[in-house]
Amino acid sequence: MSPLLEMRDITKTFPGVKALDHVNLEVSKGEIHAVVGENGAGKSTLMKVLSGVYPHGQYEGEIIYDGQPARFRDIRDSEDHGIIIIHQELALVPQLSIAENIFLGNERAKHGIINWHETNRRTEDLLAKVGLAEAPTTKVDGIGVGKQQLVEIAKALSKDVKLLILDEPTAALQENDSRKLLDLMLELKTQGVTSIIISHKLGEVRYVADTVTVIRDGSTVSKLNAKTGFSEDDIVRDMVGRDMTHRFPQHKRSPGKMMLEVENWNVWHPEHTERQVIKNAAFNVRAGEVVGIAGLMGSGRTELAMSIFGQSYGRRISGSVKLDGTAIDVSTVDRAIAAGISYVTEDRKSLGLVLDETIQFNTTLANLEAVSSGSILKKNEETKVAEKYREALAIRTPSVFQKTVNLSGGNQQKVVLAKWLFTEPEVLILDEPTRGIDVGAKYEIYTIINELADQGKAVVMISSEMPELLGMCDRIYVMNEGVLVGELSAAEASQERIMSLIVNE
Amino acid sequence: MNVANSEPTASATADTKSIRHYLSANLRQYGLLLALIAVMVFFQIVTDGTLLRAINVTNLLLQNSYIIIMALGMLIVIVAGHIDLSVGSVMGFVGALAAVLIVNYDINIYLAAAICLATGAAIGAAQGYWVAYWRIPSFIVTLAGMLVFRGLSLWLLEGQSVGPFPREFQIIATGFLPDIFPAGIGTSLAAFFDVRQINTLAVASGVVAAALIVWMGVRTRALNQSYGMNEEPQSIFVARTFIVAAALVFVTYKLAQFRGLPNVLLTMGVLTVIYAFLTQSTVIGRRIYALGGNVKAAKLSGIKTERLTFLAFMNMGFLAAAAGLVFAARLNTATPKAGFALELDVIAAVFIGGASMSGGVGTIIGAVVGAFLMGVLNNGMSIMGIGIDFQQMIKGLVLLAAVIFDVYNKNKQG
């Protein structure tokens, strides 16, 4: 069959990072093509290149679409050519009706006046096509996520879609909703729609895909064909197999007494109150030990950590937290801090730093009591503290009075770390501590983590990068859909074992 | 020889360059001060010197006192990321309450003042409760408050003006500090400067305050330098300190030629110093900036953001009540229209003073200077006989220009 789309030697660089390195993708007409890879492998970047989010000129390589070289200027341009992408985060306006959403930006109107009759009639046709039994006038926030997904697809169909791209379409769906969606994809295939599906769930990939392209670290690794046959193991091997030497500081650790013990931890979603986000989680960390929590984004790792840290996430939280053998109160953030727990957020810009303020301001923010007497700040003392951490963590800046917004990602991360180290915690929970920072800075962060363990701190490390967990942790818990599905010691852990725990539920 | 000559020139150029660089990086701060000076010089010239006559300087301070008092609280509310539209109404309501208590019910003025201040704090707390714990937007809550307390003042005063106040109450706003120095000093000073009279206390406190500012400035600078934070070039530091100190001496000298230091100036000065200290040097002040700068990060740092928001509004209510007492005492009567639309002047002063609508940015001193800038504009234009129509337009454009300037600067830096 002739190819509908060829992306040849696509290279995309961001300042300091090569996100895509000569990636090739060939999609045949009328097939379902799966693109798989770890978080950060470059799948989303590739789709952004394809859909014109990064317009022609911002990447190298060429795109041949429908036999013609394509140079999309923006999303609108690629949509006009029939390429429609449905993102992980749904782009619907919840306050508007299904019909209004489907024809948003593409209104059935004459001279700016909307023809509601036609809008609703065409919506009914589209909804019938995707198998959604809802009235066109139903508000989108009144239907579930699964149905919203179908509305998105209906919206795509309303635009004469030739190539439909679904970015992790089932990530937020329940089992039977997922199945419905996949069946719809197969149904659309018979109608001649070509689809690309990005997914972590290998069962799904096997179920729908004709061809699989595996991407790792910004490069195409392999292309597998359903006709010649492939197994999930093949995909896993291709997804994770990479060189790991010298990326982590060599280190011996000697874990001491039991420090943190979490038992029976249950958390419900703050808005969708019927959804349980964390189910009966139990884990522990010893002093001087680094324990990893592996799992995909959205598996509940951050929710677990934040719910323990002063109930910063979730509702109806229950379970017990023990520190050094005694139960502690972690019901508010200041109590959790006082008890000796610190949480270093995965989102340093929006949750970690006051960006418009200085390094000094941010360093002391969580422990102002220590630099004040009678609630009056001792600014000299503050500066000394900030200087101390600047030196200890090698924060590269002209002075501690520099605004944190001007620092590089790695240095910002160090400032967030400094803030929490200054609270002198017993337990440090690090959520994606090396996300979005360059390789050199990662190495420095790893060295700091080793030093903290040496000082007897109990370290929990949440990460989507499996090599990082394997290189740093003494033990690794694996999380999937709110459940800790396994625990592996450093000796028995491997990327394949972790990945198979995640994908084989 | 050439080499020997070129060296000092080169370092001089580097010096001017760094001064220019520093000025452009901190344009907002100095721009405000320069704008105030420019506006004053302009009006001094076009009003043939009326602006800076002793009696007018005194008037300027009295006229703007209640705006400045409220601007202190508003700065904190705005830094915390909120807004309070009700302050004008609350101010009017508290003035009305004072009048009813004192004039109609003959209650002791100190007791009445205490009741009024407590009422203001309670009003602020009530509004803050909805904003902080129920997350109802402050714009809505205080818009409601604006209407409610406007209505309450009307109801309380039954649509009439109530007054006059007893003499002791008026003194709050219109009284002057007694000259504690022997009259002889004043007379001889007056003779020396060739003016009609001199209030020694006013001159002396001006000189002391100026000396304090110089001393504190030098001390902070030395401290900063020892931590490698000597960003401000020396020439700018000297010029800035000199201008501020000279302005203080000048203003008090002018006041001395009229009736000395107004009581209100003392209240205003003390409050300004307290709030400047509170915002810059205390744990609670620091936390308010963190809350306004990034509420999520503040929360995750163990800061009780709800309580802080609540306190910011309560404090605002208290200061609005204080302003209400000053305003009523100055007018010597409480009217149902008192404080009408005043919240807009207060908010404008804070934004002109460099605060950011999105929170986390702004200083007490900036807000006070902003209020004075508005005050001088009002006063100068009134002396010139410019109609209220043009006054409003000009004030509106000044506010817009100040904020555009902020945004422009921010874009240029980012």
Q: Which fold has domain B32-175+262-406?
A: ABC transporter involved in vitamin B12 uptake, BtuC (1.10.3470)
Contact call for B283 and A379, based on CB within 8 A: no
Contact call for A343 and B300, based on CB within 8 A: yes
The shortest C-alpha distance from B359 to chain A (Å) reads: 11
The shortest C-alpha distance from B330 to chain A (Å) reads: 36
Does residue A429 surpass a pLDDT of 60? yes
Q: Contact A51/A85 with Cβ under 8 angstroms?
A: yes
Quick: pLDDT tens for A339-355: 999 999 988 888 999 99
- Identify the residue whose tokens are 């076009």: B46
Residue A241: pLDDT band (50, 70, 90) is: low
Sign (positive or negative) of CA dihedral B370, B372, B373, B377: positive
Interface of A with B (CB under 8 A): 309-310, 312, 332-334, 336-337, 343, 345, 350-357, 361, 365-366, 368-369, 372, 375-377, 379-380, 383, 387, 399, 401, 405, 419
Q: From CA A250, how far away is CA A256, in angstroms rounded? A: 20
Q: Which of A203, A133, A256, A198 is nearest to A480 (CA)?
A: A203
pLDDT score, position B2? 42
pLDDT score, position A323? 93
Does residue A242 surpass a pLDDT of 60? no
pLDDT score, position A109? 85
Residue type present at position A363:
T
Q: Report which of residues B317 and A95 the model is more confident about.
A: B317
Q: Contact B21/B232 with Cβ under 8 angstroms?
A: no
Residue of A329, A344, A356 to mutate, interface with B, max B Cβ within 10 Å: A356
Quick: pLDDT tens for A352-410: 999 989 999 999 999 999 999 989 999 889 999 999 999 999 888 888 888 898 887 78
Does residue A441 surpass a pLDDT of 90? no
Instruction: Give the CA dihedral A242, A247, A251, A256, nearest 10 degrees.
Output: -70
Q: From CA A54, how far away is CA B37, in angstroms rounded? A: 50
Does residue B414 surpass a pLDDT of 50? no
Sign (positive or negative) of CA dihedral B269, B272, B277, B282: positive
Does residue B18 surpass a pLDDT of 70? no
Quick: pLDDT tens for A254-286: 888 999 999 999 999 988 888 889 999 999 999
- In this complex, is the C-beta atom of B301 within 8 Å of any C-beta atom belonging to chain A? yes
| Facing residue for B299 by CB, picked from A333, A357, A419 | A333
Residue A504: pLDDT band (50, 70, 90) is: low
Highest averaged pLDDT of the listed ranges A144-148, A353-357, A437-441, B173-177: A353-357
The shortest C-alpha distance from B290 to chain A (Å) reads: 6
Residue pairs spanning A and B at CB distance below 8 A: 81
The shortest C-alpha distance from A383 to chain B (Å) reads: 8
Quick: pLDDT tens for B377-391: 999 999 999 988 898
The shortest C-alpha distance from A406 to chain B (Å) reads: 9
Q: Nearest residue of A to residue B282 by CA position?
A: A376
User: What is the mean predicted confidence (pLDDT) over A53-78?
Assistant: 88
Quick: pLDDT tens for B73-118: 999 999 999 999 999 999 999 999 999 999 999 999 999 999 999 9
| CATH level 2 (architecture), domain A247-340+425-505 | 3-Layer(aba) Sandwich (3.40)
Quick: pLDDT tens for B389-404: 898 899 899 889 888 8
Q: How many percent of chain A have pLDDT more than 70?
A: 95
Q: From CA A403, how far away is CA A386, in angstroms rounded? A: 13
Residue of A353, A368, A384 to mutate, interface with B, max B Cβ within 10 Å: A368
User: What is the mean predicted confidence (pLDDT) over B2-19?
Assistant: 49
Does residue B11 surpass a pLDDT of 80? no
Quick: pLDDT tens for A37-51: 776 678 888 888 998
Q: Span A3-240: which CATH code?
A: 3.40.50.300
- Tokens read off for B208: 């002391």
User: What is the mean predicted confidence (pLDDT) over A313-336?
Assistant: 92
User: What is the mean predicted confidence (pLDDT) over A467-496?
Assistant: 90
Query: Residue A222: phi, psi to the nearest 5?
Result: -160, 160
Quick: pLDDT tens for A298-319: 788 999 999 999 998 988 999 9
Contact call for B297 and A352, based on CB within 8 A: yes
- DSSP letters of B24-80? HHTHHHHHHHHHHHHHHHHHHHHTTT-TTSHHHHHHHHHHHHHHHHHHHHHHHHHHT
Q: Which of residues 354-373 of B touch A (CB under 8 A)?
A: 360-361
Does residue B14 surpass a pLDDT of 60? no
Contact call for B300 and A337, based on CB within 8 A: no
| Facing residue for B300 by CB, picked from A351, A401, A405 | A351
Q: From CA A280, how far away is CA A319, in angstroms rounded? A: 8
What value does the mean pLDDT of chain A take? Answer: 87
For chain B, the C-alpha Rg in angstroms (whole number) is 23
SS3 of B201-218: HHHHHHHHHHHHHHHHHH
Q: Which of B62, B105, B70, B45 is nearest to B318 (CA)?
A: B70
Q: Contact A258/A323 with Cβ under 8 angstroms?
A: no
Q: Nearest residue of A to residue B303 by CA position?
A: A334
Q: From CA A155, how far away is CA A201, in angstroms rounded? A: 25
Q: In chain A, where does the domain assigned CATH 3.40.50.300 lie?
A: 3-240, 247-340+425-505
pLDDT score, position B369? 92
Q: Where are the domains of chain B?
A: 32-175+262-406
Q: Report which of residues A75 and B156 the model is more confident about.
A: B156
